Amino acid sequence: MENSGSKQHKDEVSMKHSKSPFDLIVNQIWRNKSFSERWPQSSMARFFKITENSNEAACVTEQSKEGKTSLDSENKENISKISDKLKSTDPESSATRWDQVVEFMERLGKEPDPKCMDLNNSSLTANDAVNLAALLPNLPNLEELDLSWNELIGGTLKVLTNHMQHVSQLRVLVLGSCRLSELDLSAIGDWIQLLPNVEEIDLSWNSDLGGNLCLFTQKLRAGTKLKILKLVDCNLTAEDGTALGQALSVISKLEVLDLSMNEDVGSGLEVLFRELAHVPHLQVLKLHLCGLRRANINNLGDALEYVPCMKKLVFSCNDIGGGFQETAAHLSNFKQLQVFDVHRCSLTEDDVSALTQILPLLSSLQVLNLALNKNIGNSLRHLIARLRFLPRLTTLVASNCNLSKESIVELADTIPSLTELEILDLSWNKCIGGNLGLLLQMLQISTRLRVLKLCSCNLTGQDLESLVSVARAGFLENLEDLDLIYNNTVNDQSWAMFFQEISGLKDLSELDIGLRPLTHRACDPWITIFLDSLVRFPSLTEFRMHHWVLSASQRKLLETFNRDSKRNILFHY
pLDDT tens-place string over residues 152-164: 999 999 999 989 9
The pLDDT of residue 446 is 63
- Collapse the DSSP code of 558 into the 3-class scheme (helix H, G, I; strand E, B; otherwise coil) and give the result: helix
Averaged confidence pLDDT in the chain: 85
Higher pLDDT, 427 or 130: 427
pLDDT at 388 over 70: yes
For position 332, what pLDDT does the model report?
86
Residue 108 maps to a domain: no
**Contact by Cβ (8 Å): 157, 129:** yes
Flag whether 482 is in a domain: yes
Cα dihedral 137, 138, 143, 148, rounded to 10, equals: -80
Query: 10-48 as b/e, with b when 16 or more CB fall inside 10 Å?
Result: eeeeeeeeeeeebbebbbebbbbebbbeebebbebbebb
* C-alpha–C-alpha distance, residues 155 and 76, integer Å: 15
- Answer yes or no: is pLDDT of 35 > 90: no
- 469, part of any domain: yes
Tell me the residue range of the domain where 460 lies: 445-573
Average pLDDT over residues 389-411: 95
**What pLDDT digit, counting tens, does each position of 333-360 carry?**
899 999 999 999 999 999 999 999 999 9
489-513 pLDDT tens trace: 999 999 999 999 999 999 999 999 9
Q: How far, in Å, CA of 243 to CA of 249, rounded?
A: 11
Q: What is the pLDDT of residues 247-300, one digit of tens each?
A: 999 999 999 999 999 999 998 999 999 999 999 999 999 999 999 998 888 778
**What is residue 169's predicted lDDT score, i.e. its pLDDT?**
96
- Please indicate, yes or no, if residue 101 is contained in any of the structural domains: no
Query: What is the CATH number for 471?
Result: 3.80.10.10
pTM of the model: 0.82
The answer to whether the beta carbons of residues 174 and 145 sit under 8 Å apart is yes
Structural domains in the chain (count): 1
With respect to residue 566, please indicate whether it lies within any of the assigned structural domains: yes
pLDDT of the residue at 103: 87
Question: Is the confidence at residue 83, as pLDDT, over 90?
Answer: no
Please check whether residue 244 lies inside any domain of the structure: no
Report if residue 453 sits inside a domain.
yes
Say yes or no to pLDDT of 63 above 60: no
Under the banding of pLDDT at 50, 70 and 90, the label for residue 429 is very high
pLDDT at 36 over 50: no
Residue 30 is assigned to a structural domain of this protein: no
Gap between the Cα atoms of 556 and 284, Å rounded:
50
